[in-house]
C-alpha cells in the first residue's frame, strides 16, 4: 500500500472516530499495525483537521455566542464553557507534566474500550431516570472539565464519551444538549492540547522532515470526514440512544484482548 493511500485512510479514520464515543486513539492504534506507524507531528495535524471540522459545524453557534454578549443566557453559557476548559487546563497540565498517563498500547486501550462501553450503558440508563433536562449547570461544567482530564490519562476512554456521559450523569440528561456542550468545550481544549504538543515537538527538534503530501491529504480527509460525522451524529442522537456505540466499544475491546493479548 502506498504511503499516500495509507495517510488518506488514517485521516478518514481520525475524522470518523474523533467525535464518536468510540476512541480515536484505539482505532488509530489498531490501524497503524497495518498502515504503518506515523510521526507525532502527523497525528497532531490530523487531529487539527478534526478540530477544524467541528469548528465549521458549530460556526453559527459560535458566532451567536460571540456576538450576543448582551444576552444573559449567552453569557452564562460562555462562562460555563470557560469553566470547563479552565478545569481541564488547570488540572490536566500538571497531570501531563507529571507523566500520569497509561501507555497507548493494546491492552490498556482495549480495557478502556470495554469498561467505557459498560459505563456508557449504565450512565445512559441512570440519566434517563432524571427526565428530559437540557440545562447546563455549574456542576456539569466542572465535571465535564475533569472528565476530559481522565480521558487524557486513560487512552481509549474517548474524550467525547467521558465528557458527554459525565454531563448526563451530572444533570444534563438530554443527549443533544450534553453533546453540544461537550463538543463546544472540545474546540478550545483540543486546540490547546494540539498546540502544546506541537510546541513540545518543536522544542525537541522532532518536527524534521515529513511526508508533506501525506500530511496534507490526511488533514483534508480528517476535516471532511469529521464534518460529515459530527453533522450526522447531532441528528442521530435526537432520536436514538448511544447504546450501539457502547456495544461496539465492548465488542472491539474484547476482540483486541483476544487477538493481541499483551500486545503493543
**Within-domain flag for 154:** yes
Residues 6+ apart with CB under 8 A from 193: 152
Q: Which pLDDT does position 257 carry in this prediction?
A: 87
For the purposes of burial, counting CB atoms within 10 Å of the CB of 211, is it exposed (0-12), middle (13-18) or buried (19 or more)?
A: middle
State the residue range of the domain holding 242. Answer: 3-259
pTM for this entry: 0.90
Three-class DSSP labels, 160-176: HHHHHHHHHHHCCCCHH
Contact at 8 Å (CB) between 113 and 213? no
pLDDT attached to residue 264: 55
In this structure, is residue 264 part of a structural domain? Answer: no
Q: Answer whether residue 22 shows pLDDT above 80.
A: yes
| Count of domains observed in the chain | 1
Instruction: Give the pLDDT band of residue 199 (cuts 50, 70, 90).
Output: confident
Which pLDDT does position 224 carry in this prediction? 97
Would the pLDDT of 68 be above 80? yes
Q: Which of 138, 144, 44 is nearest to 85 (CA)?
A: 144
CA-nearest of 168, 166, 148 to 158 is: 148
Task: Confirm whether 134 is domain-assigned.
Answer: yes
Range in 24-28, 56-60, 61-65, 150-154 the model is least confident about:
24-28
Within a domain: 151: yes
Mean pLDDT of the chain: 89
Instruction: Report DSSP letters for 90-120, one per residue.
Output: HHHHHHHHTT----SSHHHHHHHHHHHHHHH
Is 72 among the domain residues? Answer: yes
Q: What is the mean pLDDT of residues 185-210?
A: 83
Domain assignment present for 39: yes
211: Cβ contacts below 8 Å, ≥ 6 apart? 3, 7, 42
Q: Is 7 a member of any domain?
A: yes
Q: Mind listing the pLDDT tens digit for each residue in 139-156?
A: 999 999 999 999 888 888
Lowest mean pLDDT among 30-39, 134-143, 213-222: 30-39
For 76-128, how does the pLDDT look when each residue is reduced to its tens digit (9 = 90+)? 999 999 999 999 999 988 887 787 777 778 888 889 999 999 999 999 899 88
Percent pLDDT > 70 in the chain is 97
Mean pLDDT (whole number) for 194-201: 84
Torsion of CA 250, 256, 259, 264, to 10 degrees: -160
Mean pLDDT value across residues 196-212: 78
Predicted confidence (pLDDT) at residue 12 exceeds the cutoff of 80: yes
Mean pLDDT on 155-176: 91
Provide the pLDDT confidence category of residue 263 given band limits of 50, 70 and 90: low
Note the pLDDT of residue 261. Answer: 61
What average pLDDT does the segment 236-249 reach?
93
Q: What is the pLDDT of residue 141?
A: 97
- Between CA 252 and CA 241 the distance in angstroms is 19
Find the largest Cα–Cα distance for the chain. 56
Task: Enter the C-alpha cell of residue 181.
Answer: 456542550
User: Which of 215, 197, 217 shows the shortest CA–CA distance to 206?
Assistant: 197
Grid cell in block for residue 38: 506515523
**CB of 161 within 8 A of CB of 24?**
no
- pLDDT of 262 reads 58
CA 244 to CA 264: how far, in whole Å?
27
Q: How many CB atoms lie within 10 A of CB 114?
A: 19
- Is residue 71 helix, strand or coil? coil
122-141 per-position pLDDT tens digit:
998 998 888 889 999 999 99
Residue 228 lies in a domain: yes
**CB contact at 8 A, 172 and 181:** yes
Amino acid at each position: 500500500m502506498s504511503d499516500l493511500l495509507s495517510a488518506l485512510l488514517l485521516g478518514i479514520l481520525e475524522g470518523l472516530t474523533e467525535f464518536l464515543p468510540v476512541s480515536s486513539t484505539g482505532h488509530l492504534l489498531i490501524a497503524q499495525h497495518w498502515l504503518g506507524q506515523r510521526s507525532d507531528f502527523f497525528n497532531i495535524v490530523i487531529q487539527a483537521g478534526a478540530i477544524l471540522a467541528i469548528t465549521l459545524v458549530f460556526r453559527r453557534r459560535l458566532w451567536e455566542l460571540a456576538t450576543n454578549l448582551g444576552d444573559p443566557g449567552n453569557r452564562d453559557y460562555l462562562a460555563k464553557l470557560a469553566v470547563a476548559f479552565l478545569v481541564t487546563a488547570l488540572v490536566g497540565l500538571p497531570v501531563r507534566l507529571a507523566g500520569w498517563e497509561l501507555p497507548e498500547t493494546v491492552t490498556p486501550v482495549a480495557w478502556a474500550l470495554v469498561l467505557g462501553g459498560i459505563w456508557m450503558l449504565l450512565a445512559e440508563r441512570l440519566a434517563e431516570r432524571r427526565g428530559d433536562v437540557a440545562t447546563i449547570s455549574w456542576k456539569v461544567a466542572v465535571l465535564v472539565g475533569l472528565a476530559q482530564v481522565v480521558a487524557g490519562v486513560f487512552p481509549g476512554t474517548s474524550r467525547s464519551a467521558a465528557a458527554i456521559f459525565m454531563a448526563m450523569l451530572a444533570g444534563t440528561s438530554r443527549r443533544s444538549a450534553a453533546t453540544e456542550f461537550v463538543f463546544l468545550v472540545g474546540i478550545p481544549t483540543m486546540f490547546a492540547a494540539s498546540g502544546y504538543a506541537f510546541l513540545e515537538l518543536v522544542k525537541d527538534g522532532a518536527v524534521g522532515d515529513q511526508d508533506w503530501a501525506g500530511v496534507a491529504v490526511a488533514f483534508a480527509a480528517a476535516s471532511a470526514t469529521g464534518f460529515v460525522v459530527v453533522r450526522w451524529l447531532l441528528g442521530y442522537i435526537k432520536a436514538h440512544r448511544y447504546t450501539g456505540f457502547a456495544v461496539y466499544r465492548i465488542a472491539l475491546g474484547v476482540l483486541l484482548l483476544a487477538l493481541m493479548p499483551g500486545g503493543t
